[in-house]
Amino acid sequence: MSGVHRALISCPNITSLRLRVTLLGCSSWPDRWSFPFALDGKDTYPNLRTLHLEGYDFDQREWNDLQSRLGPMRWYERWADWIFSGKAFKQISFNISLSAEQREKDNLDLWLDAMDWGMVEELALADNRANYTYFFGKASKALTGLQRLQLDGGEVNETIQILKALADNGVALTNFTWTDNSNSYPQNSTLPTIAKTHGQSLLHLDVHSIEAMSTSGIVFSATEIEHLQQMPNLNHLSLNLPRNGTWPLESLSAIAGISPLRTLDLWLDIMSECRRQKTEPHHWRPYPDEVEGCTEEEQFLRPYANETTANEVFEFMRSKKLGNELESVTFWVGDWGRPWDGPLYEPSWVENRRAKISCNVVAERCVVEEGNNYWSPDNSWREMDPEK
């Protein structure tokens, strides 16, 4: 982090930063979780246009760290460390030279002072150590040039307030992506709020959840989807599509009623309900299954997604489409999350079970690009299945 900080200070032509601060494996830690801004506020960053941050600590306070004398050492060793590390000198000098207001600034305050955030056009936040309300409560008024926003996680009320605050400050988003894997929020207010606050400007909208063992994907009703029909420029949409034995034709018709829409991504769960109810076994503590049966193909949600079923959905939507022609639909089935790269853990049943099917008018057909016949007992991933 210190090296990246030095580069940003010394290279005025940098316009893009994509940064992930995380623990890799069991022992590889970053030197810190935020940039080491000078507390006197003299650091200056280039005007970034693209900023992606994951795992960043906006709430870190340099003044608190300077005063800290906590740790596993004896009391006199902690005092000695505080003195010989230079913290004591910095605290005394800052006490004399800086106002109380400046000393109490956190990392986000110092970054807001160091850079013109009005130049940021694309912002992506994920897994940060301060919640989104905290960040946007301070930064929303400075993000006057924001066009593309990507949020990973966050409660629905929090996200709604963020969208409203940006709109109130004159921001008109063209791209908004919100992914989540908690599925604990009420969905019925999400799409109407998006349509109301940024519906006139949005070109690209992606609101979908990541499938997990304990929860199924977001379910948007046809009535909720119909709010998107009032968005005059929406040419790309990405949503979860629920199914339980049949395809939700009413929801598909509602999507087809979005006149400007040209391309579509549909996110499909791969697990059946009986598989979701089964207890996950662990090598160190094997649990018995709570649901009898539910083996082989029964573990996968139906209808299965393959070339035939995907083409049926594609042709149905094209026949119902209003306005622009629907040029392509991509089906994302199962687990498309980033592979785990943290400490040792026991992978869940759903991990890496996935399929991708692409349909477009140029090829006039649908093609399985990955995961052909994913429900088949002969599929190669079964060789690594701990239950087999």
Mean pLDDT value across the chain: 86
**pLDDT 10s digits, 165-219:** 999 999 999 999 998 765 444 455 789 999 999 999 999 999 998 887 777 778 8
Q: Computed from CA positions of residues 10, 14, 20, 25, in that sequence, does the dihedral angle turn out positive or negative? A: negative
Name the pTM for this structure: 0.88
Decide if pLDDT at 259 tops 60: yes
Q: What does the angle CA 38 – CA 44 – CA 47 come to, to the nearest 5 degrees?
A: 140
DSSP E strands in the chain: the ranges are 16-20, 50-54, 122-126, 148-152, 175-180, 204-209, 236-240, 263-268, 328-334, 354-360, 365-370
Contact predicate 150/78, CB 8 Å: no
Decide if pLDDT at 78 tops 80: no
Where along the chain do its domains lie? 173-180+190-388
Contact predicate 114/44, CB 8 Å: yes
Contact predicate 381/352, CB 8 Å: yes
Q: How far is CA 72 from CA 61, 69, 80, 140, 364, in A?
A: 21, 10, 13, 40, 67
pLDDT of residue 288: 47
d(CA 268, CA 253): 17
pLDDT category of residue 294 using cuts at 50, 70 and 90? confident
Whether the ω angle into residue 303 lies within 30 degrees of 0, i.e. cis, is yes
The more confidently predicted of residues 179 and 344 is 179
Strand partners, 208: 179
The more confidently predicted of residues 337 and 383 is 337
Decide if pLDDT at 339 tops 50: yes
